[in-house]
């Protein structure tokens, strides 16, 4: 625990990322670098499932994601309603201009409590 501004204290463990990874997502996705990520699975065009090495306490974790698609503007959609679990997070990428699903490189970070 550390003391922040004023009298508020912050638990460092609460604020640390519990999982992160960067994938090459065009074609068959592959992990380029990661922490607490066992694997990435191609779901459909634009969609990927990330499996954690160590499980989260529940499925109510926070996922932040970025997407990169050479030559196009793409947006990330976090598919929390489609079945995040204690051991997986789901994401999907769509073209900003056409709204079509697209395969793209992704970076994700998860914050929450480990089991």
Rounded-to-integer distance, Cα 57 and Cα 59, Å: 7
CB 110 within 8 A of CB 56: yes
Which neighbouring-strand residues pair with 40?
A: 50
| 13 vs 90, residue with greater confidence | 90
Rounded-to-integer distance, Cα 58 and Cα 37, Å: 16
Residues 51-109 pLDDT 10s: 999 999 999 888 888 888 777 777 776 555 567 899 999 888 887 778 888 888 889 99
The distance from CA 101 to its chain's CA centroid, rounded to whole angstroms, is: 17
Structure confidence at residue 40 as a pLDDT band (50, 70, 90): very high
CA distances from 90 to 4, 7, 86, 97, 107 (A): 33, 38, 12, 22, 12
């Amino acid at each position: 625990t550390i003391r922040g501004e004023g009298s508020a204290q912050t638990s460092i463990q609460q604020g640390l990322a519990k999982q992160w990874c960067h994938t090459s997502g065009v074609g068959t996705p592959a992990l380029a670098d990661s922490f607490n990520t066992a694997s990435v699975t191609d779901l459909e065009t634009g969609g990927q499932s990330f499996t954690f090495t160590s499980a989260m306490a529940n499925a109510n974790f926070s996922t932040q994601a970025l997407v990169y698609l050479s030559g196009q503007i793409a947006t990330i959609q976090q598919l929390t309603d489609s079945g995040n679990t204690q051991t997986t997070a789901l994401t999907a990428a769509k073209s900003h201009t056409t709204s079509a699903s697209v395969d793209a490189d992704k970076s994700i970070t998860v914050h929450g409590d480990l089991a």
